[in-house]
Structure 1
Amino acid sequence: MIRVLLADDQDLVRTGLRLILELNGIKVVGEAGNGAQAVALAAELKPDVVLMDVRMPGGDGIEATRLIAAADLPCRVVILTTFDLDRHVYDALAAGAAGFLLKDASAPQLVSAVERTAAGEAPMAPQVMSRIIDRFLERVPQAMPEPPQLRSLSPREREVLGLMAVGLTNTEIANRLVVSLATVKTHVRSILAKLDARDRVQAVLLAHRYGVTA
């Protein structure tokens, strides 16, 4: 069973998230009302996934994400964001967030994001991913030569990376390429290793930086 820690300073939000998750077989092991509590509970409870709000008292979600990543805890953080907080998304990515979910996401989107994060994927609301890519590309020089890590990818790995870059999940990639899900997961692991990418998001940003998209 997937174990989740909720971090949000609004009781009503946490109650709603807990209800949705537990009705879908996901166990909520703890709740935090601020960033400091989130870090402490993540270390104590070691959940699979932390759903982390950005703006909280007592240490915001970005700093809490950074501390969780620095502590090398086994949990992965999904940032709960809104368009109002969009300027923080890139900073959260740099801090070690595994994914981003809009606060107005539907119940199925929430459950899917948690399940995908626990499975090692990086769930990303399309609107958020688009903004992350745009901001990332604004910060890097243009016309840079392709690094050797990308050249080390096989043709099939480049194809998988390109599909990752346009937002396809592992299951969607498997369907597109008519291969098994296990095969796709093997390709993704190899891609991350060859690119020395911490996670799927870093690999996608690298793909967009050098034009490797489907």
Structure 2
Amino acid sequence: MSPLYLVSDAVASALGGHDYEVETPVWPGGRRTRSHTARLDDVEADVGLLMTDLVPAPRLREATECLRTLDLPWLLLTGTPSGPLWGAVLDVGVQGIMPSSTGLADVVEALDRLLAGETLVNDQERTELVEEWHRSQSRKDGLVERVHSLTPRERTVLRMLYAGQGVGQISDALNVSEATVRSHVKSVLHKFRVNSQLDAVAVLGWLRDDPESLDWWESA
């Protein structure tokens, strides 16, 4: 299955030509179509094929919802490079990961191997990637906690820094002195445990694609 229904339909048709009986359920949050009518929890299958990138954060959540809903050996085709995001999906059911560009014959061979009870990721690589994912999440949780410790005015100043505005511009826009702005910036750096405005902006950029982490972003 894939959030791109035309891709999903094309691959389903191709696998049908290799004696696979294919179901294409509705992607989480997606709309029903003529060929995508089944709910995930109504599907009965022996192996799963997931075709999606793992960014931005909402796409990763949708992918892991698929994996958690159907307890299957899953093969993931993705353009996302190896790293902690691979650990996220390996942690919840993926047994093989291949590039999105993988040819049909290789995909069929991989699915056959999964059906035979094989895993396509060795134990050491799986352990390292899953641990990398958990470390990443732990770091993120700490950063989110620091972001939410900011006062409303500190959040506003940080957002303006992220938008590329300097201290003087922020001072004019907020009708406060530059010394006051610098005081807010100093407090942000202290709470983020970083040494420069650039580092603080980088922290925000790292988190900003996840609306659940920064639910104040639009309203601050």
TM range (shorter): 0.3 to 0.5
| TM-score normalised over the length of structure 2 | 0.44
Of Structure 1 and Structure 2, which has the larger fraction of its residues in strand?
A: 1
**Structure number with larger C-alpha Rg:** 2
